[in-house]
Amino acid sequence: MRAMRAEGFSGYKDLTLVDVPKPAVSDGRVLVRITAAGVTPLEHTILSGGYPRAKAPLVLGGEGAGVVEEGGGTAFPAGSRVMFTGPYGVSENGTYSEWLAVRKENLCLIPDNIEDLSAAGVPVAYLTAQMTLSLAGFAPGRTVLSPAIGGSVGNAVTQIAKAQGAKHAISTTTNHSKAQQARSLGFDEVIDLSMEKLSDGVRRITEVVLKYGVVRSIAEGYGADIVIDAMGGEILSEALGTLSIGGSLTTLGYAAGRKATIDVTDLIWKRASMKSFSLFSQPAEVWTTAWSVIFPLLQSGAVKPIVAKTFPLAEAADALRYLVEGRPFGRVVLTI
């Protein structure tokens, strides 16, 4: 079968189209014919030598969608359309291939109204979004901020929070055209950082109109109850300053930088908290619960995955370059 394999970890040139044996089905594994693979920043990190756990040669790709061929039993009979993520493309070969033997516990059926191309980019972002919101104590009426509306996590958190009754589901962009695109897609609480500071934007959106008889006044914005940040760097520092009293910030990525400087008074004075999150360290029951929320939201159309561009398997290096350097609005997906 065809696969895009990293022969080394020194850049795009090490990603090569190769012919490798088709995987065999074993206990607990389901043979899936891959139809589409999500492209994520983690593959770029691995290919650049920034992820010591990964060992070359390695077929990249941590999430995907496809059709069950065998081994799925009654839960995933042959012909079922499935999506999944897991240790693939990190500690074992991944989804940049025509077939993959997937652990049964990693699979989720794809709703009939969702195409494989869209489903391939669902697992990592939407599982991360639902789990982090749940762990942060999300409830209807809360205000959520997740920077970078064009990115996978920022977009997924914003959609899932809004679909579950957030009072405000706020995101950001540094690009004015992306801000306009976001609003045309129905994201009406996106702060355009080329026009407004993050703190000012959150304050504006969360202002409260107070009434005293016929007199009306506006109280200063109360801030974000929950921040889910996948960016790191300076944006994390700024987002921390937007927290409301008793708010929490969850950090889980570093697309904008691995180092950030924070003002500890943003935590102390507001009695706020800061925590980290890693998707693959979560127990199985957390995954099951998250999928049970995400599936009906996809099925009803309450959340809609956005695909920015697709590339054929053989152009995986170009897909990664486009994701990292082009910073598109929505997911990049390989067609297999």
- What is the reported pLDDT for 292? 97
Q: How confident is the model over 275-286, as pLDDT tens digits?
A: 999 999 999 999
- What is the reported pLDDT for 220? 58
Across all residues in the chain, what is the average pLDDT?
Answer: 94
- What is the reported pLDDT for 139? 97
Tell me which residues of the chain have a pLDDT lower than 50: 209-219
According to DSSP, the β-strands at 63-70 and 81-85 are: antiparallel
Task: Give the count of beta carbons closer than 10 Å to the beta carbon of residue 286.
Answer: 16
Cβ neighbors of 289 (< 8 A, separation 6 or more) are 134
Q: In Å, what is the CA distance from 124 to each residue of 32, 40, 65, 173, 272? A: 18, 9, 12, 21, 27
Predicted model pTM: 0.94
Residue 61's closest CA among 11, 127, 15?
15
Q: How confident is the model over 251-265, as pLDDT tens digits?
A: 999 988 999 999 999
Residue 156's closest CA among 308, 332, 300, 294?
294
- What is the reported pLDDT for 86? 96
Distance CA(55)–CA(49), nearest Å, equals: 10
- What is the reported pLDDT for 214? 47
